[in-house]
């Protein structure tokens, strides 16, 4: 009897600390490189895309390949290429872990369009919010402590209501303040009236470091 398969995976993984280190100017070269890895595993790639801090791979999975090995090989090989290409000087590596969600063939076209429109999609939903939503939609149990990293943590949502926030490199600017999510301190110089717990809980009870921008006065 012949063997048949029809499994579509949406695989998602992010950069280390969710830092925005994948330049839009060169991301297509990264996607082509990963496409080659997928082909070497005899898997069919339906679509690959992402934004500065994570990527989505929509593909099937060949019966001879385990999911864990498949993702590991993609991450290891692409990490080496990202560093050696010198096109992504701020890239430090991929974060540990990944999300992998299965779908039926009937959902293929919708999924392709979803992955294709990632850059537009993330104008209205953060990477953290998207990942949390995917886990919930697929009824995956998870511990929020292990989703918390970078400035996409939900603990920053109250801050968004107080300041005009925008992203600049690895920092987050909020009015006259610069939030440095990768510099975690136990004592912070914080904006007057801002409760510490609003920016707490990234790791081990540490707080974000706030620094006043020179132009903020």
- Model pLDDT, residue 84: 96
- Model pLDDT, residue 205: 33
- Model pLDDT, residue 113: 94
Q: Report the alpha-carbon distance of residue 41 to residue 73 in Å, rounded.
A: 9
- Model pLDDT, residue 137: 85
Domain boundaries defined on the chain: 8-146, 152-216
- Model pLDDT, residue 145: 60
Q: Report the alpha-carbon distance of residue 125 to residue 10 in Å, rounded.
A: 18
- Model pLDDT, residue 209: 40
Q: Report the alpha-carbon distance of residue 31 to residue 186 in Å, rounded.
A: 39
Q: Which residue has the tokens 């009824």?
A: 139
**Hey, what are 133's tokens?**
């939503």
Give the neighbor-by-neighbor strand order of the sheet with 207-212.
Answer: 165-168, 171-174, 177-185, 207-212
As its CATH architecture, domain 8-146 has: 2-Layer Sandwich (3.30)
Residue by residue, pLDDT tens for the chain (217 residues) are: 677 778 899 999 999 888 899 999 999 999 999 999 999 999 999 999 999 999 999 999 999 999 999 999 999 999 999 999 999 999 999 998 899 999 989 999 999 999 999 988 888 888 878 888 888 888 888 766 666 543 333 333 333 333 333 333 444 444 444 444 433 333 334 444 433 333 333 333 333 444 444 444 3
- Model pLDDT, residue 59: 97
- Structural contact between residues 216 and 180, judged by C-beta atoms closer than 8 angstroms: no
Angle in degrees, CA 171, 89, 155, rounded to 5:
25
- Model pLDDT, residue 147: 61
Q: Report the alpha-carbon distance of residue 166 to residue 184 in Å, rounded.
A: 20
Phi, psi of 179, deg, nearest 5:
-95, 125
Q: What is the DSSP letter of 186?
A: S
- Model pLDDT, residue 128: 78
Q: Which residue has the tokens 């925005």?
A: 20
Q: Report the alpha-carbon distance of residue 57 to residue 50 in Å, rounded.
A: 9
| pTM of the predicted structure, to 2 decimals | 0.68
**Hey, what are 171's tokens?**
């920092």
- Model pLDDT, residue 29: 97
């Amino acid at each position: 009897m012949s063997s048949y398969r029809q499994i579509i995976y949406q695989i998602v993984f992010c950069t280390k600390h969710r830092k925005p280190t994948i330049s839009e100017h060169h991301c297509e070269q990264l996607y082509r490189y990963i496409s080659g890895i997928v082909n070497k595993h005899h898997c069919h790639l339906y679509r690959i895309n992402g934004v500065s801090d994570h990527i989505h791979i929509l593909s099937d999975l060949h019966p001879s390949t385990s999911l864990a090995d498949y993702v590991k090989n993609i991450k290891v090989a692409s990490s080496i290429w990202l560093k050696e290409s010198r096109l992504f000087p701020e890239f430090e590596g991929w974060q540990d872990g990944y999300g992998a969600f299965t779908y039926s063939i009937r959902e293929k076209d919708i999924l392709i369009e979803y992955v294709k429109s990632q850059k537009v999609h993330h104008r209205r939903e953060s990477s953290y919010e998207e990942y949390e939503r995917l886990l919930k939609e697929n009824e995956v149990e998870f511990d929020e402590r292990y989703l918390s990293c970078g400035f996409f943590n939900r603990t920053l949502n109250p801050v968004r209501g107080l300041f005009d926030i925008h992203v600049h490199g690895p920092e987050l600017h909020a009015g006259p303040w610069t939030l440095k999510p990768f510099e975690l301190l136990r004592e912070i110089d914080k904006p007057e009236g801002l409760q510490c717990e609003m920016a707490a809980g990234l790791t081990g009870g540490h707080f974000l470091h706030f620094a006043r921008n020179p132009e903020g006065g």
